[in-house]
Structures are given as C-alpha cells and as structure tokens.
Structure 1
C-alpha cells in the first residue's frame, strides 16, 4: 500500500508540475496563434497552396490542413479536418491516407515542450512531416490501391463562410481556453500513466521484463529506459512520454543540451 500511495503522489507532483509550468504556457501561445490564423483563413490558404504538392502523397487540402494543425497545435486539432473529410464524402482511400499521416506526424503537444531540454522543435516537426508523407503515400497508393477512386479536393473559400473572423484579443482568449481545456483533459491520464510507470519501476516488473528480453534489447541497441519510454508512449500517448522524459531529465539535473535529440 505504501508503494502505491508513494507512486500516486510522485506521479501527481510530476504531472501537475510539467502540465502547468511546461505544457500550458506553450499551448496558450500556439493555440492563440492558430486561432488567429484560422480567423483570418490563413490556414486554409496555406493548405490550398500546399495541396498540389501534397497530392503526390495522396493528400488533399484537408489532409494537408490536418498535418499543419497537428504539428502546430496539438494531437486533438486534426479531428475537425478529418471529420469534415468524412462529412463531405471523400474516398476512404484519401481519408485513410490523411489518418495515417496524422498518426505518423509529431504532435505539437509533444514537440514544443521538448524545447526545454534543448531539442529543436523545428527539427522534430520536419521529421514528423516526412514520416507523415511516407505513411500517407503507403496508405493511399500502395495499401489502398484497390480502393474506389475518389476526388482529391482542396480547401476552397466556400468552406470558410461559417468561420468568423476574430481579432487578436478574441483569438488569445479562445486559444487560452482551448489550452486550459486540453491540459484539463490530459492531466488525469498523465497522473494515472505516470503512477503506473512508478509502480512498474518500484515493483521490479520492468527490470524483470527487460532482463528476460536482454538479448533482443542488445540486438536493437535499446536500454531499459528506452523500453519504459516506448511503453509509456504506446499506453498513454505522447504527452505522458514527454512528461516522463522531462521528469527524468530533471532528476538527473542535466542542463539543456543544444545537441540533444
């Protein structure tokens, strides 16, 4: 019982500290910027101009918009673009390509907080976009080649008629509210996932698993800490994995390394 309570309290302190003092400020700024760009239809304009290039990778304007929103806002941002594709009856082939791209790209709620460790968020975003394009190409032209052909669309101005133009102050207010909502949504999962991680470490379960799989880990060049990060990412998502990484970095008392990646 003592181990359980200690794990929960430690996880709660780490999750609240990272969520409030690292995630929240960055999300407020990025959400406010994206809300302002949406208000002046800049995101749709960018997606329109990028659409001819993205078509080579099986993506239409909405697919490009989903990647932009994921990379610059959060992992929840592309839901609207994907839902709009379904509502407009786009081919399953292109919906699958957009979904594959979203799964492969690096979300902003994971990339921007890593800047506190000296990681270049721009490099993470660029690598994520490259991975997204590879995933969308495979989903559309290789895996989905037998699907029914569909029309690749662009995000035209007609889709922006119901989007109200916001001034900067309104965008900041709405972006801040969105950021607080996202933090409120991810905080319980952060606490629970980090508590499970603490329990896994304190009970020796992780050590037992990694010891049993030591030959495979040596072949892959992975350590016990790598296994911990991968399990956290798969079970609890990017935010929990980044929280664990930042927490481990703080425990080691390491200064930010500009060459860390």
Structure 2
C-alpha cells in the first residue's frame, strides 16, 4: 500500500508541475496570439490566400483554418471547425481529407511545451505541414475517392470575436487565458492516471521485461529501446501523457535531445486512442469517414517519421 501511495503522490506532483508550470504558460501566450490574430482578421486573410494553393490537396478554407488550429492551439481546437464543416454542408471527401490532415500534424499542446526539453520547433512545424498535406492528398485522391464530393451551399466564413479598442483586446486576452487554463487543468487527470500506470509498470518490472523482449527486434530496425515507454504511453493515453513521460525521462537523462527530435514524427500527433475518439465525436459524418482518414493520416505520419529520423 505504501508503494501505491508513493507512486500516486509522485505522479500527482509531476502532473501538476507539468500542467501549471510548462503547459499553461505556453498555451496562454499561443492562444492569446491566435485569438488576437483571429479578432483582427489577419487569420482570415491568411486562410484566404492559402486556400487556392491547398485545394489540390483536398482542403477548403475551413480545412486550412483547422491546420492552423492543430499546429498553434491544441489537438482539441479543430473539433469545432470539423463540426462547423459538417453543419455547413462540406462534402464527405473534404471532411475525410481534413480529418486525415489533423491526424498527421503536430499538436501545439505537446509541441510547444516540449521546446523546453530540446525539441526543434521549426523542424517539427515544417514536417507537420508536409505530413498534413500528404495525409490530406492521399485521403482525397486515394483512400477517400469513393466518398461523395457533393457539397451543399458551403459558407466558409469564420466567426471571430472583435478586438476593436483596448477593451476588445483585453476581453480577447482574458478569454484566451481562460481557454488556456481549461486546457491545462483538463490535462491533469489524464496526466496523473498515465503517470501512475507508468510508475506502477516500472516498479513491477513490466517495462524492463518488455524492453528486454523487444530490444532484439528494435535493434534490427535500428530503433532505440528507450522509445518503448513514451510510445506505449502516447498511443494508449495520448500526446499530453507522452509529454509527461518524456519530461521525466529527459530529467533523468534516459533519453537524449537527438532521440527526442528523431522520434517527434510519430510521437507528436493526435493519432492515438484518446485523440481519435475525441476528434470523431465532432459529428456523425465526421465519424463515418474516420477509416479513410486514418489511412491517409498514417501516410502523413510515416512521411514525418522518415523526415525527423533523417534530420535527427
């Protein structure tokens, strides 16, 4: 019983520190910046200019906005855009392409805090864009080609708050700060549970046994055994939980900065059990196209993995 309490207390302390002292400050700054750009209409202008170039990839204006949200806000941010796309009559084919792109891209709630661990943000964002475009194109032109491309009268205008005057700017900042606080606080339960499970598996020797079994196979593929723990955590508990495990491993010098960056392609994305379940809850039609979107997302993740492994 004493061992269990010790694991829980250590996991709770680590989760609170990571959420409040790493995730929260980064999300406050990024969300304030994004919301101010939205309110000023700068993002609308950017989306309008990018949309024609990205249409061959199967993305429309709101799909472009979803890409900005996943990269600069959090993995949860695009769910509102997906829901809006479904309600406004976007075709199933475009929905699948947008969902695949989101699956393959790097989520800001993991990427930006992991800068403090040595993650190269520029490289991560560049490969995130390439992977997202590859995922969208593969889904639109290959995996989702059987889906309907018929669209109703699609309104691609985006509704944003106004930031006119000092009060408008202050209100926008306060709303963004409150949103960042909800994201950070909301991450604590999953972080605590994940770190408790990881701590228990370590104490019971399961991780060491699993590493021992998998090491020969990983050696054949030139994969570091140190990636077993964060990979299991990521795909079972999500990117935020993986970030917590990676933070502990970096503090304990169990994983190098080079390995952290080399593994970013398959570790930093919302394509995991919690992420997929959350995103497909955006609507009935979004949930119906998750299979071709998942296949396209895998194409983008493979491309990102190869790019990060090559660049280190």
Aligned residues: 257
Comparing 181-190 with 167-176, greater Cα deviation is found at: 167-176
Match status 1:199 vs 2:200: yes
CA distance in 2 between counterparts of 1:75 and 1:40 reads 23
Residues 53, 165 of structure 1: CA spacing in aligned structure 2 closer, same or farther, 3 A cutoff? same
Give the aligned CA root-mean-square deviation in angstroms. 2.3
5 Å-filtered alignment, 1:38-53, equals: 38-53=38-53
Report the TM-score, using the length of structure 2 for normalisation: 0.77
Contact 1:110/1:239 (CA < 8 Å) preserved in 2?
A: yes
CA change 1:259–1:209 in 2 (3 A) is: closer
Asked if the contact 1:59/1:97 (under 8 Å) is kept, the reply is yes
**Could you give the per-residue CA deviations for residues 71-94 of structure 1, whole angstroms, max 9, x where no partner exists?**
011111111111111001211111
Q: Is the Cα contact below 8 Å between 1:48 and 1:155 reproduced in 2?
A: no
Q: Deviations over 1:31-57 (max 9, x none)?
A: 111111121222222111111111121
- Once the two structures are TM-superposed, the CA of residue 69 in structure 1 deviates from its matched residue by 0.7
CA distance in 2, matches of 1:35, 1:234: 30
- Structure 2 residue matching 1:213: 3-state secondary structure: helix
Question: Matches of residues 141-220 of structure 1 in structure 2 within 5 Å?
Answer: 141-151=141-151, 156=156, 159-160=157-158, 162-166=159-163, 167-220=168-221
| 1:172/1:259 CA distance change after superposition, 3 Å | farther
Q: Indicate conservation of the 8 Å contact 2:161/2:172, yes or no.
A: no
- Tell me the distance in 1 between the aligned counterparts of 2:155 and 2:259: 38
Within-5 A mapping of 1:95-174: 95-151=95-151, 156=156, 159-160=157-158, 162-166=159-163, 167-174=168-175
Alignment map for 1:221-232 (pairs within 5 Å): 221-232=222-233
* Pairwise CA distance, 1:136: 0.9
Name 1:36's counterpart in structure 2: 36
Distance 1:54 1:155, change over 3 A: farther
Residue aligning to 2:23: 23
Q: What SS does structure 2 have at the residue aligned with 1:122? A: helix
CA distance in 2, matches of 1:153, 1:7: 55
Query: What is the CA–CA distance in structure 2 between the aligned matches of 1:201 and 1:187, rounded to whole Å?
Result: 21
Judge conservation of contact 2:7–2:199 (CA < 8 Å) in 1: yes
Q: Residue 238 of structure 1: CA displacement?
A: 1.0
Match of 2:304 in 1: none
Tell me if the contact between 1:59 and 1:152 (Cα under 8 Å) persists in the aligned partners. no
- Whether the 8 Å contact between 1:34 and 1:72 is mirrored in structure 2 is yes
Q: CA deviation at 1:250?
A: 1.7
Report if the CA contact (8 A) 2:72-2:108 is conserved. Answer: yes
Name the TM-score, length of structure 1 as normaliser: 0.91
The runs of 5 or more residues in structure 2 that have no matched partner are 262-312
* Cα 1:253/1:216, change in 2 over 3 Å: closer
Determine if contact 1:105/1:128 at 8 Å carries over to the other structure. yes
For 1:147 and 1:154, the matched residues in 2 are separated by: 17
